[in-house]
Amino acid sequence: AQKITQTQPGMFVQEKEAVTLDCTYDTSDPSYGLFWYKQPSSGEMIFLIYQGSYDQQNATEGRYSLNFQKARKSANLVISASQLGDSAMYFCAMRSQGNLIFGKGTKLSVKP
């Protein structure tokens, strides 16, 4: 069965510092994709970054990078130079042959 686990219900980070949000996954499919979405209080899910299971390099998108450790089945999101606007819920998601499944999310709060 496919599963996404986010073990951090909430995280605090000081503005301008880096933060890592944890995500582990479980699948028996060799081909899969890992996604991170941001959900601000407005409710919309905003795509941040994607990592394919066969990608050789870790994905990066601006201040976002994905620390992909395939053997450990982890896909942690790293946000560098945190900003106040980064305060939101963050969801890790995975898709192989089926639909996109989500973890329970991590609430990130950025302190000024």
Partner 1 sequence: EAGVAQSPRYKIIEKRQSVAFWCNPISGHATLYWYQQILGQGPKLLIQFQNNGVVDDSQLPKDRFSAERLKGVDSTLKIQPAKLEDSAVYLCASSLVPTGTGGLRYGELFFGEGSRLTVL
From the CB of 4, what's the least distance to partner 1, in Å?
7
Does residue 32 interact with partner 1 by CB under 8 A? yes
Choose between 63 and 107: whose C-beta lies nearer to partner 1. Answer: 107
Does residue 50 interact with partner 1 by CB under 8 A? yes
Q: Nearest to residue 75, comparing CAs of 37, 5, 16, 22?
A: 22
Does residue 101 interact with partner 1 by CB under 8 A? yes
CA 24 from centre of chain = 10
The correct pick among 35, 66, 88, 108 for binding partner 1 (CB under 8 A) is 35
Does residue 93 interact with partner 1 by CB under 8 A? yes
The correct pick among 44, 56, 57, 72 for binding partner 1 (CB under 8 A) is 44
